[in-house]
Structure 1
């Protein structure tokens, strides 16, 4: 499959509409995106610890309202956030203006199209909580691999596909605890680590580290460890 073909097809209109409808809530830390705000310091420190952000050219793929992109810019990176949900991007741009966030910009463009414009451009690429929302995640992985510089880092996070993940990430988070709006996730689009690592290798990236992301709903605490049975993050590098 060519990148051109992927560009035309690798977005789900229902997914884009879903996140656009919630766009005004992105920066409400007590609203629908509260979990993203809660985990952001964890994933930011993990990324910055492996690939120091200061002074680097960074791309955030599927940036939504800019929660991670904004925090990476505040760590000293030069950040471009991209997404196809236009309303969410406008929220991200407005927040950056109001918060006077330095060295950040946003574009309404697909990863595949940008990969044709800017091959080997970025030191660090992040693609967090996004792969489980597109029809062809492997195409996103390939585009990220094309855009990162040799020796650069690409970070992914997504959700495992197994009964435990369905119980916790869908039933628990959306229907029991009401942590997320119902319909946020489609279990059939969840991605096993073995599947993601296959796509990573085929794209010419090499796994460096994998971490699981855990949550205690009683205390609200989040932490990461070696348990990748539900939410997990993968750090990869382009070796050549």
Structure 2
């Protein structure tokens, strides 16, 4: 793991400026609200979350963290975007979401503070926004208990993903603010798998996420050419 502050100030500022819109389902964060049930159901089907200690790394305004807490998990959401965290905390108070807390801390710093403390760690739509994604993967591996699960989702790096996830989503369909993703920061599945192996995580399940702009419907599939999800497990479980 590298410097505990593994973050791009421009990325933090980008999401902080939009923080007040996290829970507006017709805002720039509409895609996150639309895919959240898919993410939650898949995570729950692989590892379960009810009654477990769950960490959501890069939680933003708390969309996934809140949903996992409502499924019965004890959730800690962490992020370095202070304004987004305030929105998450306020939403938890207003919605009376049980068993969810938020902290402004990096995954690397928390890994030094609380190694092996969580049954499940999620890191969704975050790796493509940090300078050193391998460091985040290593921190997630350090944070999960032996035998525990770590889930990642990110975007592949290839011409198809450039056309669909950047040109299409940001410039044609205006689903996301322009500049949300940088092509050079996108991560191929083989690269993420390499980071996971180096961190002691075994890749167990892979899924792709697809979108039909005509029906505005998302679904999970075997196609990992654009958006994809990894379910990994840390060795040493009973």
Settle same-fold status: TM greater than 0.5.
Answer: yes
What's the CA shift string for 1:51-108, capped at 9, x where partnerless?
1110000000000000000000000000000000000000000000000000000000
Q: Which residues of 2 match residues 208-223 of structure 1 at below 5 A?
A: 208-223=204-219
Q: In the TM superposition, what whole-angstrom CA distance separates every residue of 1:23-54 from its partner, at most 9, and x where no partner exists? A: 00000001100000000000100000011110
**Residue 177 of structure 1, CA deviation:** 0.2
What does the per-residue CA deviation read over 1:180-209, in whole Å, with 9 as the maximum and x for residues that have no partner? Answer: 000100110000000000000000000010
CA distance in 2, matches of 1:137, 1:168: 22
**Alpha-carbon offset, residue 233 of structure 1:** 0.2
SS of the residue 2:224 aligns to: coil
What SS does the corresponding residue of 1:6 show, helix, strand or coil?
Answer: coil
Provide the C-alpha distance between the structure 2 equivalents of 1:17 and 1:7, rounded to a whole number of angstroms: 18
Q: Could you tell me which of 195, 199, 206 is aligned with 1:199?
A: 195
The 4+ residue runs of structure 1 with deviation greater than 4 A are none
Q: CA deviation at 1:6?
A: 2.0
Q: 2 CA distance for matches of 1:187 and 1:23?
A: 23
- Counterpart residue number, 1:82: 78
The match for 1:147 is 143
In structure 1, distance between residues paired with 2:58 and 2:3? 16
Aligned to 1:237: 233
Aligned-partner Cα distance in 2 for 1:52–1:212 = 20
Instruction: Give the corresponding residue for 2:42.
Output: 46
1:111 aligns with 2:107: yes
> What's the CA shift for 1:238?
0.2
What SS does the corresponding residue of 2:3 show, helix, strand or coil? helix
TM-score by length of 1: 0.98
Q: What is the CA-CA distance between 1:154 and the residue it aligns to?
A: 0.1
Match of 1:7 in 2: 4
Question: Which residue number corresponds to residue 94 of structure 1?
Answer: 90
Structure-2 residue corresponding to 1:61:
57
How far apart are the structure 1 equivalents of 2:3 and 2:218?
35
Structure 2: distance between partners of 1:179 and 1:170: 10
Which runs of 5 or more residues in structure 2 are unaligned? none
Return the TM-score normalized by structure 2. Answer: 0.98
Count, aligned residues: 236
Q: What residue ranges of structure 1 are gaps of 5+ in the alignment?
A: none
Counterpart check, 1:122 vs 2:118: yes
Query: Which residue pairs with 1:131 in the alignment?
Result: 127
